[in-house]
Structure formats: structure tokens, C-alpha cells
């Protein structure tokens, strides 16, 4: 598909998560080697920064461009603005760093604030396929009330940049969510997956150790580490048997975090999170792919949806609940590792039932099986035992499977309706 796109269109497609597999890899190679395409990429992020902050931040390259952009935006009708919480939840694949904030603001342990004290340092993993070669975005966010957003730049493939950021920012907490996070894509780009998802973690840990600072560190481990499961359900003591380059890289990152905790007495925790979804999930992930397609089919914008293994069983939970668990881990007196899961498993077929059924659709009339979406080695069953998190963190999820699927499909239905209305208004 991407071979028919020009360079600007390729950048846009990568940014929007529209490319997969071989198309994804080809577009990355072509775009990364073109200076004009890289400039376009940087412009997209500058536009995003102005939209978020209303001002030129650290990422801006041309003050005059920012002024022109702000003037143009001021002429646009005012729509819904994303909250700071939405910005933080935009990608489950960021490395997040909590920096210093105004201590006079709302206390971090209050229920309304709980997990919202999240900030970031990242390779921008949702689009990391481009960024690994020429730039990476780091997001430093202090989400206390009234706090400003700041962008800092770094790269999980560049140890010197990580060292500089940590010495400059002096964070209190670091949440390492940076990765090439798409399991199927990891089979196409295994070396890069290992470089960022695996070795990126040790670079970050080394930067912490060499800084002499003592920030608390969170490592995003993954249920994909269990792979060909050895226990049902899976808990902290279950042996790992990864079934993808992504899972293997996560196992390395997990154990190197344990090693640094024990070798250097770092406050380092790993959260073994099972599948965490929300309306902001990337469109190439199966849950969001389903809910977006269901919405578009309902509106007559799409007729078919192509999927792979419908019998794969996953333990799906709500990303907002899981971020709260992450934050709670770093509020404990001692570091430890925790499984975070719902404790129930559902097939892809069941997710289809809920998402399409909520819109009064029969998914069997629209879904086609495409062998390209099968993994070379599949993970058939994942179901987590979060007893330790319940007992020690006092963590409880608030959104169940059915509610999650409905939340996602409703959000996509609204978004697609707004797109249609916007298109229609231009023609009047």
C-alpha cells in the first residue's frame, strides 16, 4: 500500500498507525532516509505541541511558523479540548518521567489525583518506527493542577541523551513505557525491537545509576513474556516462555530491572501488565481495530474487517485502571514486581460479539480472516492472577470487559460521526 504514497503521505500514515507488516517496514526505511520527510515529521510534532500548549516549547524550530499556526488556530471553531489526563493516556507505549511540581498543589495520594501524577520521557513508541533513526520525543508532564507541559528530547537508543535528561530533569519517578510495542510487527523488525524494547531499558537504568540520583523506576513488563503459558492463571512466579521477539525483549528488560534493583539497591519495580485497552489504543491493535471498524460499518463508511486468529484468548482490562496500579507500585515502601490483570479471559470472537452487537450489527457478515495477520508463533491463552496487587497495593479495577468494549466502540462511533459532519460542512 505505501508504495503508492508520496513521502508526506507516508509520514502521515506512520503517524496515524495505518501501516502494518511489510508496508510498515518499507515506509520506515524510505521515510527515515529522506531529510524532507524527517522535516515533515518534526513539523507534525510541532503542530501537536502548539495544539497542546498554545505556545512554542522546546521542540519548536521556527518561531514565525508557531505564530502563524497559532493565528490560524484562533480562527477555527472551538471544539473539545483534550485534558491533560487524555494527553498522558494517548500512548501506552511512552517512557514517562514524573518531575518536580508545585508541592502546594493537590496531594498526589488523594483519590481524584491518584494515578494522574504521571509524566514522561519517551521514544514515542506508537510511531517509534520512524523515531529510532533520527529523533525521539520525550514527554515531561507534571499533572498537578495548573501545571504546564514541557517537551524534552531523548532516544532510548542514545545513552548520552538519557543521561543528560535525568541529570537535567532530576525526576522523582520514571515510568519506562518506551518500546516497539506491536507484537506482530516485532517478527518483521526483531533487531530493532530488541534494541529499543530490551537494550533501551538497560540504557535508562544505567543513566539512573550513573546520575547518582535515586528516582523510583517503573518497568513496563508484559503478559507476552508468559507466551506458551506454564501456569494457568499466570502470576509473578510463573516461568516465562515468550513466543515473539517482542516477548523475548520484554523478558530481558524485566530481568535486567530485577538485576539493577538487587545489584545497586535501586527502587525499581516491574508491572507485568496484561492487555490494557482504551479508546486511545493504537488502531493497529486488534481491540481498537474492531471497534473502529464496527463504528465505520455502522455509518456505512466501511464494509469489511480483516482479522487473524479469532480464538486467541486474552485478559483485557482498562488502561486507566492499569496506570493507577503502576503509580501505586512506586508509592510503596519497598520495590517489588506485580501482575496487573482482570483475572478473566475472553476470545477475540467474544470482543467482536460485544462491539458489533452493541451497534446492532452481526460481525459474521463483515469479518474476513486474513492469514497475514497470524503470528508465526501464537500465544493462545493469557489470564492473570493479580492477587498480590489486590492485597499489597489495594488495587481494584473499575471497568469490566463488556463495559470496556462498549466504551471503545462508542468513542469510535462519535469520532467517525464528527469526521463525517466535518466533511459534510466543507461541501456546504
Give the C-alpha separation, 288 to 277, whole Å: 8
**From 181, 186, 223, 224, the catalytic residue:** 224
Choice among 246, 318, 322, 338 that is catalytic:
246
Cα 304 to Cα 289, 295, 394, distances in angstroms: 12, 12, 43
149-153 and 137-141 strand pairing: antiparallel
CA 228 – CA 234 distance, rounded (Å)? 11
Cell numbers for 317: 482490562
- On whether the CB atoms of residues 4 and 26 are closer than 8 A, the answer is no
CA–CA dist 115, 171 (Å, integer): 16
CA dihedral 253, 255, 259, 265 (to 10 degrees): 70
Q: What is the largest CA-CA distance in the chain?
A: 67
The DSSP bridge pattern shows strands 96-98 and 173-176 to be antiparallel
Cell 501456569 belongs to 231
Instruction: Please indicate whether residue 224 is annotated as part of the active site.
Output: yes
Identify whether 181 is a catalytic site residue.
Answer: no
A 10 A CB-CB count for 86 gives 13
Residue tagged active-site, from 222, 223, 270, 278: 222
Helices (H), 7-90: 7-15, 21-32, 35-53, 63-74, 84-89
- Active site annotation includes 222: yes
**C-alpha cell of 106?**
493537590
Residues annotated as catalytic (active site), given as ranges: 222, 224, 246
Amino acid at each position: 500500500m505505501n508504495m503508492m504514497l508520496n513521502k508526506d503521505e507516508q509520514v502521515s500514515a506512520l503517524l496515524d498507525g495505518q501501516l502494518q507488516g511489510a508496508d510498515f517496514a518499507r515506509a520506515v526505511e524510505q521515510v527515515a532516509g529522506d531529510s524532507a520527510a524527517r522535516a515533515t515529521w518534526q513539523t507534525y510534532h510541532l503542530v501537536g505541541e502548539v495544539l497542546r500548549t498554545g505556545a512554542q516549547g522546546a521542540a519548536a524550530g521556527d518561531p514565525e511558523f508557531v505564530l502563524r499556526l497559532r493565528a490560524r488556530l484562533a480562527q477555527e471553531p472551538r471544539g473539545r479540548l483534550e485534558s491533560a489526563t487524555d494527553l498522558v493516556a494517548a500512548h501506552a507505549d511512552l517512557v514517562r518521567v514524573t518531575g518536580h511540581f508545585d508541592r502546594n498543589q493537590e496531594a498526589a495520594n488523594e483519590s481524584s489525583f491518584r494515578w494522574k501524577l504521571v509524566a514522561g520521557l519517551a521514544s514515542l513508541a506508537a510511531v517509534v518506527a520512524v523515531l529510532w533513526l533520527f529523533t525521539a520525543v520525550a514527554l515531561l508532564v507534571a499533572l498537578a493542577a495548573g501545571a504546564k507541559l514541557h517537551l524534552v528530547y531523548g532516544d532510548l537508543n542514545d545513552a548520552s541523551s538519557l543521561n543528560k535528561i535525568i541529570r537535567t530533569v532530576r525526576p522523582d519517578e520514571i515510568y519506562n513505557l518506551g518500546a516497539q510495542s506491536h507484537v506482530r510487527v516485532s517478527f518483521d523488525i526483531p533487531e530493532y525491537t530488541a534494541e529499543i524494547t530490551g537494550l533501551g531499558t538497560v540504557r535508562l537504568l544505567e543513566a539512573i545509576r550513573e546520575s547518582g540520583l535515586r528516582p523510583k523506576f517503573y518497568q513496563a513488563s508484559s503478559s507476552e513474556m508468559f507466551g506458551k503459558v506454564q501456569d494457568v492463571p499466570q502470576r509473578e512466579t510463573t516461568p516465562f516462555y515468550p513466543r515473539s521477539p517482542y516477548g523475548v525483549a520484554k523478558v530481558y528488560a524485566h530481568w535486567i530491572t530485577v538485576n539493577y534493583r538487587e545489584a545497586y539497591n535501586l527502587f525499581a519495580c516491574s508491572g507485568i501488565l496484561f492487555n490494557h485497552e482504551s479508546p486511545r489504543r493504537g488502531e493497529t491493535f486488534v481491540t481498537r481495530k474492531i471497534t473502529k471498524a464496527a463504528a465505520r460499518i455502522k455509518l456505512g463508511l466501511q464494509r469489511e474487517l480483516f482479522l487473524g486468529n479469532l480464538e486467541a484468548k486474552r485478559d483485557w482490562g482498562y488502561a486507566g485502571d492499569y496506570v493507577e496500579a503502576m503509580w501505586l507500585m512506586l508509592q510503596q515502601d519497598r520495590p517489588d514486581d506485580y501482575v496487573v490483570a482482570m483475572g478473566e479471559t475472553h476470545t477475540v470472537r467474544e470482543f467482536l460479539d460485544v462491539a458489533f452487537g452493541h451497534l446492532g450489527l452481526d460481525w459474521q457478515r463483515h469479518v474476513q480472516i486474513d492469514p497475514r495477520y497470524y503470528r508465526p508463533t501464537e500465544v493462545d491463552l493469557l489470564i492473570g492472577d493479580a492477587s498480590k496487587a489486590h492485597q499489597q497495593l489495594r488495587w481494584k479495577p473499575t471497568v469490566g470487559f463488556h463495559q470496556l468494549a462498549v466504551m471503545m466502540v462508542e468513542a469510535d462511533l462519535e469520532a467517525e460521526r464528527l469526521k463525517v459532519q466535518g466533511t459534510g460542512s466543507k461541501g456546504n
